[in-house]
């Protein structure tokens, strides 16, 4: 039995490496595809939709981890495959090759979000999960420092907009895979004798949780909320490039830097205010983001952009991470990983895919020469966030299905 402090340390390192692995190459990806490779906007959107497609594999991976293979071994295999596929992606400069390699890489990487969450909540109380997950935000912030260090190591003038981020992502994937083998053992549930059905394979047993009205409402709002969230999360580098921001990765990482603080206090917020107010605070922060972005474009004041970037931690920590904690509390004991996988499928898979394609389409529709009518896009996102915030405040109940601890839920 490992020392609890040692377990927490390994879980923290797991989160750090997992989010560093994505951030170092994904954050500058839109600018690389659009500005360096000169791909058409619909091609950029299709490649960027690979993140959503990858999330759709999460329920299947959750079933494997719940029933057949120890979770830490599954995670190591996923990271190893991600590293290899990112190496292959560095050699692609045309649409088809990039679409195939990046999509395959995301099919391996994205299930790791729900898997790492399930591993962490198997070895620590769910209410403490945000304080473990905060190391993921530290890893995301570290990607900005990593990019600046790479400029000196590889003796190049620029990092963003080149294939170097893909090389760095591959290297981090290999290191993460090795470190995953040091994680505390997280065995699969002992129900291997039960015949595997198509329903099991696709993780559809979790759908039974949707019979609980509160959980169904939470899933619907989360599914819809990720669509306006996607506009900044995926196309933020394009927006900042249009605003002539020089260090895009570093600038966007200010949001992750603030996220470190907000994730530390997320547990306190949940315990003091309950899950409903925690989720409301998170959506309220997203409303602040798009109002300030709108005002920034309208007044040409970059200080507004910084405000919108800094609240990223509130949005992600309080709404999305808080939602993971709620899902863990709502799920039966033998479906924890599957429940996280289903949440990832619905939100970061289907919802994020719709957001990617819809926001990409709107960017095309509101194209103004070499730039875009970002003011109109932010007005649309502001309105949609307002509607979701009202629905959450009026209809959501401050409890989780099967959860006896209201404060923790």
In angstroms, the CA 293 to CA 383 distance is 13
Percent over 90 (pLDDT), the chain: 39
Percent over 70 (pLDDT), the chain: 90
In angstroms, the CA 232 to CA 49 distance is 14
pLDDT tens digits, 358-391: 998 899 899 887 788 999 999 999 999 999 999 9
**Is the model's pLDDT at 35 over the cut of 80?**
no
**Is the model's pLDDT at 407 over the cut of 50?**
no
Give 190's pLDDT tier (boundaries 50, 70, 90). low
Integer CA distances (angstroms), 139 to 22, 23, 24, 78, 303, in order: 9, 8, 9, 18, 25
| DSSP conformational letter for 90 | T
CA–centroid distance for 353 within its chain = 13
Q: Is the overall model pTM greater than 0.85, yes or no? A: no
**Is the model's pLDDT at 185 over the cut of 70?**
yes
Q: Which residues contact 297 (CB under 8 A, 6 or more apart)?
A: 374, 375, 378
In angstroms, the CA 119 to CA 70 distance is 10
Residue 17: both structure tokens together: 């490496």
pLDDT tens digits, 293-317: 999 988 888 889 889 999 988 998 8
**Is the model's pLDDT at 406 over the cut of 50?**
no
**Is the model's pLDDT at 266 over the cut of 70?**
yes
pLDDT tens digits, 118-172: 899 888 887 788 889 889 988 888 887 777 777 777 666 666 667 888 988 999 9
In angstroms, the CA 242 to CA 67 distance is 48
- What are residue 142's phi and psi, to 5 degrees? -60, -25
Integer CA distances (angstroms), 131 to 116, 127, 137, 266, 378, in order: 14, 9, 10, 8, 31
Residue 37: both structure tokens together: 């490779």
Bigger pLDDT: 81 vs 51: 81
Give 400's pLDDT tier (boundaries 50, 70, 90). very low
Q: Which residues contact 310 (CB under 8 A, 6 or more apart)?
A: 254, 255, 258
For residue 367, list its beta bridge partners: 372
Going by C-alpha positions, the residue among 385, 361, 387 that lies closest to residue 289 is 385
Q: Which domains are delineated in the chain?
A: 4-187+206-395 (1.20.1250.20)
How is 140-188 classified by DSSP, letter by letter? HHHHHHHHHHHHHHTT-S--TTSSHHHHHHHHHHHHHHHHHTTSPP-PP
Place of tokens 């994020």: 352
């Amino acid at each position: 039995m490992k020392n609890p402090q040692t377990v927490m340390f390994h879980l923290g390192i797991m989160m750090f490496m997992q989010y560093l692995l994505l951030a170092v190459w994904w954050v500058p990806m839109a600018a690389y595809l659009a500005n360096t490779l000169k791909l058409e906007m619909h091609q950029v959107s299709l490649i960027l939709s690979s993140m959503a497609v990858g999330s759709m594999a999460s329920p299947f991976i959750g079933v494997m981890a719940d029933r057949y293979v120890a979770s830490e071994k599954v995670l190591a295999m996923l990271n190893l495959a991600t590293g290899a596929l990112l190496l292959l992606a560095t050699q692609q400069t045309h649409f088809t090759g990039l679409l195939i390699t990046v999509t395959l890489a995301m099919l391996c990487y994205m299930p790791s979000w729900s898997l790492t969450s399930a591993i962490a909540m198997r070895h620590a109380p769910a209410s403490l999960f945000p304080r473990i997950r905060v190391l993921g935000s530290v890893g995301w912030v570290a990607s900005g420092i990593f990019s600046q260090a790479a400029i000196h190591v590889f003796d190049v003038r620029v990092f963003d907009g080149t294939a170097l981020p893909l090389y760095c992502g591959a290297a981090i994937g290999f290191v993460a895979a090795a470190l995953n083998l040091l994680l505390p053992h997280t065995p699969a549930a002992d129900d291997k004798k039960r015949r595997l059905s198509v329903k099991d394979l696709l993780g559809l047993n979790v759908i039974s949780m949707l019979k609980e009205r509160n959980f169904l409402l939470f899933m619907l709002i989360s599914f819809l909320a990720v669509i306006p969230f996607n506009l900044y999360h995926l196309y933020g580098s394009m927006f900042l490039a249009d605003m002539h921001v020089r260090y895009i990765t570093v600038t966007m990482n200010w949001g992750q830097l603030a996220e470190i603080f907000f994730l530390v206090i997320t547990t306190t917020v949940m315990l003091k205010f309950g899950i409903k107010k925690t989720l409301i605070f998170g959506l309220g922060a997203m409303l602040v983001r798009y109002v300030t972005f709108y005002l920034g474009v309208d007044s040409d004041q970059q200080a507004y952009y910084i405000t919108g970037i800094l609240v990223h931690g509130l949005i992600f920590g309080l709404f999305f991470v808080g939602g993971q904690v709620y899902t863990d509390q709502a799920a039966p004991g033998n479906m924890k990983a599957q429940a996280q996988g289903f949440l990832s499928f619905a939100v970061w898979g289907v919802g994020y895919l719709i957001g990617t394609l819809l926001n990409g389409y709107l960017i095309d529709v509101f194209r103004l020469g070499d730039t875009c009518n970002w003011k109109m896009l932010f007005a649309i996102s502001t309105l949609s966030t307002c509607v979701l915030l009202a629905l959450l405040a009026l209809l959501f109940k401050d409890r989780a299905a099967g959860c006896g601890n209201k404060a923790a839920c």
